[in-house]
Amino acid sequence: MVDDPLVIAGRTFTSRLFLGTGKFPSHQSLRATIEACGTGMVTVALRRVDPTAEEDILDALPPDVLLLTNTSGAVDADEAIRLARLARAAGLPEWIKLEVTPDPRYLLPDPVETLKAAEVLCAEGFTVLPYVNADPVLCKRLEEVGCATVMPLGSWIGSNQGLRTRAALEIIVEQSLVPVVVDAGIGAPSQAAEALELGADAVLVNTAIGTAGDPPAMGGAFRLAVEAGRRAFLAGLPAARSGAEASSPLTGFLST
Amino acid sequence: MTLTPVELESRPAGVPDGTAAADLVATDLAGLRARAAAATGADVERALRAARPTLADFAALISPAADGRLEDLARRARDLTLRRFGRTIHLFSPLYVSNECVSVCTYCGFSAGNQIARRTLSVDEVREEARTLTARGFRHLLLVAGEHARIVSKDYLVDCVRALSAEVPALSVEVQVWDTGTYRRLVEAGCDGLVVYQETYDRDLYAGVHLKGKKRNYDWRLAAPDRGAEAGMRRLGIGALLGLHPDWRLDALAVAAHARALVRRWWRCEVTVSLPRMRPAAGVAGPAAVVGDRQFVQLLCALRLLLPDVGLVLSTREAPALRDALLGLGVTHVSAGSSTEPGGYAAPDGAEPQFEVADLRTPAEVAAVVRQAGFDPVWKDWQRVER
């Protein structure tokens, strides 16, 4: 949908689907999926990047796709900041997906440390896309310190539970002045469509695609769902109602 | 939480409050063992369906009553592993720096009484070993040594870690247990992971197999992962030596309870569990119990259900066919091409190994098998940041 581009920090994306890379069966599968899903930005953990290796995960990325390095593994602001600086020193793009997840199980983000790190990294000129809980006030604070997007979670990483935070996401979408990317928890194309329908600007998906039986085919399915969800949002979804509504007005006689 | 720092000479009896070790001591393992013995098909069914299985559910899952449900158990384990870890298998290698040991342990080839060729690598030799291993692809090394506080001293270990930290992204140690201060020195030198196997959680048996040396102190060893975590270790590995105890289910329950306690206490740490089965080694008696493949798989899958996010480690003690079959079924971390002989990678000269390796394939061969099974062999998954 070239006529409806998404712009983040001055860069235009034709696809509203972003891809995580941590759970794919092979680099070939990852590359085929990137092509099939049409994404323009993928995120890779710096902890997985190894330029000295025979076969590095970065080799799987086509040149026209933007690399969004993430700070996976950081437990506090200081570690996240140092990881971002290491990425910069390694010559990687200065787009950082800020992840401060001190709990390695549910990988839930630490709001206090995330805000601290965002403040420093934005001041140092990084383009910062922070992964956060679906907290509307935190999202506004991150926007104020200069983040390029906010990336609230739908549910926790890898859970495939969909938009459990829907009510909060609606508030975030309503209030945000920067693009809202729903990250984490999206387990099926229908859930990605739901995020776009409610007004999110994009989604980031990893587990649902990377662990599918056929990742490239699932990537294609997500591409269609994201496009459908966005078109539905633009077309103006009728509000859901609890009961049936008569199509002929009940009080029409009053105007005659 | 702060642990009281203690010198090795004044180790306190018992375990400190507020530790995973204390949580384990307070766990009714005998009661859980009784539940495993009495488990019915209905208990197994409930455990298989539980959204968040408890230790009692785990007891049912490792019980004889669950044997007939092994396929269902394996399916759930596979699904959970896939969801949490994706289609990835982490590769690491042990690096044996010394087989000197003053402890006498009945099950170990390094035991002080054994007449074997002893060798301790110099720091330069350790670096050579590490370079051989990184050339084979490894980016996570586990430094292993026997227990000899003078030859394998804390200063020596700190020197080894410091020498490797610039070249190896992830370093763990599996050596004699130390106090918090020593662990802190290791962390500052660049060590991120601590592996301590309790071997058996049965106090009487523990005393019976650890005949001499510092390893005899059960409580001091049990609380070592707590001390490591307090010192800043990011990965904690624990395990039990299956076959040491005639009743393997008792140790399985204990290691599961210990892992769960560590996960709760040290919520920032990644916890891994390893369940090596006893292998032949120089001068040691055979296993007190043989844990068959079927029971071994049942146990690994049950652990996955209890602890969906814990790494399960499989070493080259296991035979290739079983290792390959377990990929993705719960196992997430495998070693490959291992030598348990100090200097065995760069310059093997016949120093005695700790145990016999069953999987003799090279790292490249194991990685190829991992790929063939539909998984990405992950060599590097850690990036150290200087503090």
pLDDT digits (tens, 9 = 90+) for B163-195: 999 999 999 999 999 999 999 999 999 999 999
Tell me, yes or no, if A103 comes closer than 8 A to chain B by beta carbon.
Answer: yes
Q: Which of residues 238-277 of B touch A (CB under 8 A)?
A: 263, 267-270
Q: Look at B309 and A105 and tell me if their CB atoms are within 8 Å.
A: yes
pLDDT of residue A205: 94
Identify the pLDDT of residue A1.
Answer: 46
**Local confidence band at A2 (pLDDT 50, 70, 90 cut-offs):** very low
Is the pLDDT assigned to residue B55 strictly greater than 70? Answer: yes
A75 inside 8 A of chain B by CB: yes
Chain A contact set for B270 (CB, 8 A): 104
At residue A154, φ and ψ (nearest 5 deg) are -85, -45
Q: pLDDT value at position A137?
A: 92
Q: B176 vs chain A: nearest CA distance in angstroms? A: 27
Q: Rounded CA gap, A107 and A184, in Å?
A: 10
The whole-angstrom distance between B383's CA and the closest CA on chain A is: 5
Taking CB atoms and an 8 Å limit, are B385 and A53 in contact across chains? Answer: no
Q: Is A116 annotated as catalytic? A: no
pLDDT tens column, B332-349 = 999 999 988 899 898 777
Candidate from B86, B267, B371 with C-beta closest to A207 = B86
Mutate which of A29, A48, A108 to disrupt the B interface (most B C-beta within 10 Å)?
A48
Task: Name the residue in chain B with its Cα closest to that of A48.
Answer: B381
Band the pLDDT of A252: cuts 50, 70, 90. low
Which has the closest alpha carbon to A213: B80, B82, B378, B377?
B82
Residue A189 contacts residue A221 (beta carbons within 8 Å) = yes
Is B385 close to A86, i.e. CB distance below 8 A?
A: yes
Question: Cα separation of B206 and B216, whole Å?
Answer: 8
Chain B residues touching residue A47 (CB < 8 angstroms)? 169, 380-383
**pLDDT tier at A56 (50, 70, 90 boundaries)?**
confident
Question: How many CA atoms are closer than 13 Å to the CA of B101, on its beta-carbon side?
Answer: 33
Name the strand (E) or helix (H) holding B104: strand B104-105
How is chain A split into domains, by residue range? 6-255
Q: What is the pLDDT of residue B301?
A: 96
pLDDT band at B283 (very low <50, low <70, confident <90, very high): low
Q: Judge whether B177 and B197 are in contact, CB under 8 Å.
A: no
pLDDT digits (tens, 9 = 90+) for B244-276: 999 999 999 999 999 999 998 998 899 999 999
- Residue B111's pLDDT is 83
Contact yes or no for B87 and A211 at CB 8 A: yes
Calculate how close chain B gets to A15, using CA atoms only, in Å.
24
Interface test with B, best of A83, A85, A105 (most B CBs within 10 A): A105
Q: Which of B84, B87, B383 sits opposite A25 (nearest CB)?
A: B87
* Contact residues, chain A, for B378 at CB < 8 Å: 48
Whether A132 shows a pLDDT value over 50: the answer reads yes
pTM over 0.90: no
Tokens encoding B289:
């119990």
Sign of CA dihedral B187, B191, B193, B199: negative
ipTM value for the complex: 0.72
Counting DSSP H helices and E strands in chain B, the numbers are 15, 11
Domain boundaries, chain B: 20-34+52-74+93-311
Say if CB B253 and CB B58 are below 8 A apart. yes
Give the A window 7-46 contacts with B, CB below 8 Å: 22-27, 45-46
CA A5 to chain B, closest CA, distance in angstroms equals 31
Average pLDDT over residues B5-15: 59
Interface test with B, best of A26, A27, A57, A101 (most B CBs within 10 A): A26
Distances in whole angstroms, Cα of residue B3 to Cα of each of B20, B101, B228, B261, B266: 12, 28, 11, 16, 13
Q: Which helix (H) or strand (E) holds A129?
A: strand A127-132
**Structural contact between residues B254 and B287, judged by C-beta atoms closer than 8 angstroms:** no
Q: Which of B264, B385, B386 is best to mutate for the A interface (most A CBs within 10 A)?
A: B385
User: Across the interface, do B268 and A104 touch by the CB < 8 Å criterion?
Assistant: yes
Does B123 touch chain A if contact means CB atoms closer than 8 Å? Answer: no
Of A88-102, B233-247, B285-299, the one with minimum mean pLDDT is B285-299
Pick the CATH number of B20-34+52-74+93-311 from 3.40.50.720, 3.30.465.10, 3.40.190.10, 3.20.20.70: 3.20.20.70
What is the Cα–Cα distance from A238 to A226, expressed in whole angstroms? Answer: 19
Contact A207 B269 (CB under 8 A): no
A6-255 fold:
TIM Barrel (3.20.20)
Indicate if the pLDDT at residue A244 is higher than 70: no
For residue A170, count CB atoms less than 10 angstroms from its CB and return exposed for 0-12, middle for 13-18, buried for 19 or more: middle
Q: Scan residues 166-205 of A and list those with Cβ closer than 8 Å to B.
A: none
Average per-residue pLDDT in chain B?
Answer: 91
**Of residues B317 and B130, more confidently modeled:** B130
Chain A residues within 8 A of B380 when measuring between CB atoms: 47-50, 53
CB contacts, 8 Å: A50 with chain B = 139, 169, 379-380
